[in-house]
């Protein structure tokens, strides 16, 4: 009864690899299939455009009953993502539903990049600037994207 990867995780991984979401790449670690390296492209017409953000995603033992754990590895200037890369997203917390999948979670994160929500902040200083001087905040986000998320090579 114990051990082995649940069929759901196997199938999700297969489908993610076979039918990837545009702008999102998720590959499981070879030694731990519950651990994924994720690359999310910054959405067009957002300050994160042209950036490629690295995230890590982990499926806990109780997945899909409990949500996956996701964190940004690339530094990002965003009111809902803090210095440690933690993400403030309802579906990753109390709004999680077992019918959601890795795919939908990553899509939601991509959408979060398109539509920052400074009213529900995680990084207070960023949210403050976003509310008081949005233009400057967006400019900073663009700079950060260029500094940390654009592959210069």
Residues 115, 81: Cα–Cα separation, whole Å: 12
Q: Is 98 in the site for other proteins (CB under 8 A)?
A: yes
Q: How many helices (H) and strands (E) does the chain have?
A: 4, 4
Residues 26, 133: Cα–Cα separation, whole Å: 35
Contact string 23-62 vs other proteins (x = CB under 8 A): --------------------------------------xx
Residue 27 φ/ψ, nearest 5 degrees = -125, 135
CB of 7 to other proteins, least distance (A): 6
Q: Is 15 in the site for other proteins (CB under 8 A)?
A: yes
CB of 103 to other proteins, least distance (A): 12
Q: Is 97 in the site for other proteins (CB under 8 A)?
A: yes
Number of residues that bind other proteins (CB under 8 A): 20
Task: Give catalytic residues, as residue numbers.
Answer: 88
Q: Is 2 in the site for other proteins (CB under 8 A)?
A: yes
Q: Residue 10 or residue 147: which is nearer to other proteins going by CB?
A: 10
For other proteins, which residue of 51, 64, 68, 118 counts as binding (CB under 8 A)? 64
Q: Is 116 in the site for other proteins (CB under 8 A)?
A: no
Q: Are 88 and 71 in contact (CB under 8 A)?
A: no
Residues 91, 43: Cα–Cα separation, whole Å: 20
Q: Which of these, 62, 67, 73, 61, lies nearest to 89 by C-alpha position?
A: 67
Q: Would you give the end-to-end CA distance of the chain in angstroms?
A: 48
Per CB under 8 A, residues contacting other proteins are: 1-3, 6-8, 11-12, 14-15, 18-19, 61-62, 64-66, 97-99
């Amino acid at each position: 009864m114990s051990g082995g990867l649940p069929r759901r995780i196997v199938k999700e991984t297969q489908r993610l690899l076979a039918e990837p979401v545009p702008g999102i790449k998720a590959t499981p670690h070879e030694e731990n299939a519950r651990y994924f390296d994720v690359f999310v492209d910054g959405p067009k017409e957002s300050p994160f455009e042209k950036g490629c953000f690295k995230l890590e995603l982990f499926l806990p033992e109780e997945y899909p009953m409990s949500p996956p754990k996701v964190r940004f590895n690339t530094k990002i200037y965003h009111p809902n993502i803090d210095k440690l890369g933690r993400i403030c997203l309802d579906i990753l917390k109390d709004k999680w539903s077992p019918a959601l999948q890795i795919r939908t979670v990553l899509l939601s994160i991509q959408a979060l990049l398109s539509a920052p929500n400074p009213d529900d902040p995680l990084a207070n200083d960023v949210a403050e600037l976003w509310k008081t001087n949005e233009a400057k905040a967006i400019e900073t986000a663009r700079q950060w994207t260029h500094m940390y998320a654009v592959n210069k090579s």
